[in-house]
Each structure stands twice: as C-alpha cells, then as structure tokens.
Amino acid sequence: MDTNELEKAYLASKVVMKGDYPYFINAISDGNPSISRELLDQIVGNFQRLTDLDTDVYLAPEAMGIPIAAALTMRTGVPFQIIRKRGHGIPEEIKLKKATGYETTDMFLSFMEPGTKAILVDDVVSTGGTLEAIVNILREHDIIIEKALCVLNKCKDLDALSEKIGIPIYTLIDVAVQDGKPVLRQ
C-alpha cells in the first residue's frame, strides 16, 4: 500500500493539547491545511478495495469523515450519509452520545431503516469512543455495521477495540505523538 502523501500530510501536523489529549492538526483530520486531490485519491484508493458494493451506505461522522465518504461515493456509487453533530428533531432520529479523547457530545442520524448495511468511514480512531457509540446505538436499531475504515490509527490496541465492538477496523497508517511531535508507529 502506497501511503507516501498520507505519511507526509500526517508528519506535517501541528500538535496542540486539549487538556491531556494531544490533538493533531492536518489536512486529513482537521481539513487544515487544505486536502489535496492526490491525498484524497490515495486515501480513497486504499479504502476502495476494502469496500463492498452490496453495502447500502457509507456512514460518516461529522466532520472529517465526510470528504472521505463523499470521495468513496464518487468512486463506488455507494451513497453516503452524515452522522450529524446537530439533530433535526424528527421522530425517527437516532441520538447517540460519543466520547472522544477530548470531549463528549451528542450525534444524530435520521432516515435509516432496520436491516441497512453500512460501513463507517472516519478520519482517525484514537480512543474508540466515537466508533463504539455509533456501533452500539445503530445495532439497537437493527442497522448492520459491517466494518469501519479510518485513515489514521492512534489507538493503542486496535485489535482489542475491534473485538470489543465486534467489527473489523481498517486503518491506513499507525500514528502517535511523542515529545509534542507527530510520529509514525511501526
């Protein structure tokens, strides 16, 4: 798997602390600086081989899963839908509470039918709080989560997280922050 553009984009990250959590700012996980076509093409090219064309929908948590899911839709024809940070207040809306390394917030999803087959698409997996919250609540609504595709893996034990939530989690590069600087893990 060629990840040259992806590695360069991550290694160019700025790191800021949000409490005790090292938050990295880069094109992939923050949209700053801008996401180049080459970078997005590399991400989507690597993820495309992991997608199933019989999947009904890609689900992208707002915000940085959106450009990746949109690009996957353009490539595969499988539609995408956003798990939003604000609800619409409609009766069939699904509300979930997600906890990341630096905040706890509500998220919302509407217009999902029981039996829908979905692939989660996001920028980074760190604590697993977002993935776990989404998978758990959607299962309660009989939505089938087939797998998760996350560009950056900051999680210390991705296999344990995958086993805990009961779906495979695929990532493109393993990353960390050491001494206030972005590094690639081997």
pTM for this prediction: 0.91
Of residues 176 and 102, more confidence is placed in 176
What confidence category does residue 139 fall into, taking pLDDT thresholds of 50, 70 and 90? Answer: very high
Cite the DSSP H helix spans in 22-147.
27-30, 37-48, 65-76, 129-140
In this predicted structure, the answer to whether residue 1 has a pLDDT above a threshold of 90 is no
Q: Over 60: is that where the pLDDT of 12 sits?
A: yes
pLDDT score of 2: 59
Reduce the DSSP state of residue 131 to 3 states and report it: helix
Query: What per-residue confidence (pLDDT) applies to 127?
Result: 87
What pLDDT does 79 receive?
Answer: 96
Nearest to 61 by CA among 69, 49, 73: 69
pLDDT band at 101 (very low <50, low <70, confident <90, very high): low
What pLDDT is stored for residue 91 in this prediction?
Answer: 83
pLDDT tens digits along 49-65: 888 778 999 999 988 89
C-alpha span between 75 and 48 (Å, rounded): 8
Nearest to 152 by CA among 63, 49, 75, 43: 43
Is residue 32 pLDDT above 60, yes or no?
yes
- CATH architecture under which domain 4-184 falls: 3-Layer(aba) Sandwich (3.40)
Give mean pLDDT, residues 142-159: 95
